[in-house]
Amino acid sequence: MQHPTQHRIVVLGAGYAGAVAAGRLARRLRPQDAAITLVNAEPHFVERVRMHQLATGQELRARPLDEMFAKTGVEVRIAQVTGVDTDRRTVSVTDPDGTGELAYDTLVYALGSAWDPQDVPGAAEHAHEIAGRTGALRLRERLAGLAAGRTVVVVGGGLTGLEAATEIAEARPDLDVTLTARGELGDWLSPKGRRHLRKVFHTLGITARENAAVTAVAADHVVTADGTSVPADVTVWTTGFAVQPLARATTLDVTDTGRIVVDATMRSVSHPDVYAVGDAALAAGPGGKPLRMSCASGVPTAWQAADAVAARLTGAKLPKVTPRYFNQCISLGRSQGLIQYVTADDRAVGAALTGRFAALYKELVCKSAAWGVANPTLGVPTRRRPVAPRTPEPARTV
């Protein structure tokens, strides 16, 4: 039961960023001082970086949130977040028992993102997405029902598109797989990385349509900007992500796309009791360049936010580490991979690891990320300090 003087911390979303933030907070703060509630719509942690594997029929390990956070002091609440009132400091939720409201003293907003059909005609109606478990399972069922020789078009030449196209082509060599890219294939990679990518595409029999932005999607084809109709029994949409719309409905300072604007500690620039992490946050990396939506950004921002919250509550020093990048890890099926080394602000350098060793490296990265989430209070040095007791106060009104 929550004590009236405990500092109430509510974490919204249990993806990589939210789950890591909740676990790190539990490691940093004493349970008698802070009540941490983690709210998530699904009862399991979803390994989003493996959704292309799930879509091709591979089984993923189940990771129930209640088991992950057992004995950590974090209360898991399985509910859909329907609203955030940043003036009253409350969160509205809905679960099988009805609607409710959670009050907070500190909010960590980690609701992440979903697929973005980008208002392309027919995309929302006819395309499949792999940004979440529901979409991946829907695509899995559709692919399983495809006869040999049928066509699959993956729209988008970014990391998700490359992984989806190669995974599908490797799992189903009897299908005709095409990837459409707005620019050239892997144009952001180093020369070595691009050469290896083209080699893998050739080996797997994937057709790459370059400089071919898709402008319309139908049930059996897509149309590119030059008017070309490309047959597609199945279209997989991987052109980017859009954040959840809840933040835009609040008084938080957000961007035109709905991302919460934060400072170097992941604290909202407009509401000091709100932190945002992962895809939901517009956070700056080295040189002030915005961090891209990715697991590689989400986990470091979660560390930063959790450490900042704990520091401000206990009087410790604020973290001053700027999140940075080291590499981009790309799986190209189960037997091939590409590790593109990058600068701190995510620009490719000449060095790249390719082939089987790169595939093993990527697998190790995925397993390490999942382990960090599944063991939320392990691997983090304990630095618990007492928190000044919270004096109950009336909720703020507009």
Q: Is the dihedral of CA 117, 121, 122, 125 positive or negative?
A: positive
Residue 164 lies in a domain: yes
What's this model's pTM, rounded to 2 decimal places?
0.92
Do 74 and 167 lie in one domain? The reply is no
pLDDT tens-digit map of 335-384:
999 999 999 999 999 999 999 999 999 999 999 999 888 887 665 545 55
* Alpha carbon distance 189, 46 (integer Å): 28
Of the pLDDT bands very low, low, confident and very high (cuts 50, 70, 90), residue 291 is very high
Residue 102 lies in a domain: yes
Q: Judge whether 179 and 207 are in contact, CB under 8 Å.
A: yes
**Residue that finishes a domain, picked among 296, 324, 352:** 324
pLDDT tens-digit map of 20-48:
999 999 999 999 999 999 999 999 999 99
Do 164 and 264 lie in one domain? The reply is no
The CB density around residue 310, as the number of other CB atoms within 10 Å, is 23
Of the pLDDT bands very low, low, confident and very high (cuts 50, 70, 90), residue 1 is low
- The contacts of residue 364 (CB under 8 Å, 6+ apart) are none
Q: What percent of the chain has pLDDT over 70?
A: 93
Longest dimension (CA), the chain: 68
pLDDT of residue 394: 45
Length of the chain, please?
Answer: 398
Domain around 250: 7-114+241-324
* Alpha carbon distance 197, 190 (integer Å): 11
Do 29 and 164 lie in one domain? The reply is no
For residue 117, is pLDDT > 60? yes
Residue 370 lies in a domain: no
pLDDT tens-digit map of 85-94:
999 999 999 9
State which H helix or E strand residue 8 sits in.
Answer: strand 7-12
Look up residue 306 and give its DSSP letter: H
Paired sense of beta strands 221-224 and 229-231, if any = antiparallel
The Cα angle at residue 162 between residues 161 and 168, in degrees rounded to 5:
85
For residue 167, is pLDDT > 90? yes
Task: Return the bridge partners of 70, or none.
Answer: none
**Residue that finishes a domain, picked among 273, 293, 324:** 324
Q: Judge whether 267 and 106 are in contact, CB under 8 Å.
A: no
Do 101 and 130 lie in one domain? The reply is no
User: Comparing 386 with 147, which gets the higher pLDDT?
Assistant: 147
Sheet-wide strand order for 176-180: 207-209, 176-180, 151-155, 234-237
Residue 92 lies in a domain: yes
Residue 268 lies in a domain: yes
Do 123 and 223 lie in one domain? The reply is yes
Please give the mean pLDDT across all residues of the chain. 93
Q: Is the dihedral of CA 29, 42, 40, 259 positive or negative?
A: positive
pLDDT of residue 266: 97
**Residue that finishes a domain, picked among 188, 215, 237:** 237
Do 233 and 124 lie in one domain? The reply is yes
pLDDT of residue 396: 43
- The total of structural domains in the chain comes to 2
Q: Report, as an integer, the average pLDDT of 234-240.
A: 96
* Alpha carbon distance 126, 94 (integer Å): 29
Do 52 and 137 lie in one domain? The reply is no
379: phi > 0 → left, psi -120 to 50 → alpha, else beta; which? left
Residue 153 lies in a domain: yes
Distances (CA, A) of 164 to 54, 115, 155, 267, 357: 10, 14, 10, 34, 20
The three-state secondary structure class of 134 is helix
CATH code where residue 107 lies = 3.50.50.60
Residue 297 lies in a domain: yes
Do 210 and 293 lie in one domain? The reply is no
Would you list the DSSP string of 189-247?
A: S-HHHHHHHHHHHHHHT-EEE-S--EEEE-SSEEEETTS-EEE-SEEEE-S-EEE-GGG
Do 104 and 194 lie in one domain? The reply is no
Q: How far is CA 266 from the centre of its chain?
A: 16
Residue 141 lies in a domain: yes
Of the pLDDT bands very low, low, confident and very high (cuts 50, 70, 90), residue 298 is very high
Side chain identity at 310, as an amino acid letter?
A
Q: What percent of the chain has pLDDT over 90?
A: 89
Do 55 and 196 lie in one domain? The reply is no
pLDDT tens-digit map of 183-205:
999 999 999 999 999 999 999 99
Q: Report, as an integer, the average pLDDT of 225-240.
A: 97
Do 126 and 232 lie in one domain? The reply is yes
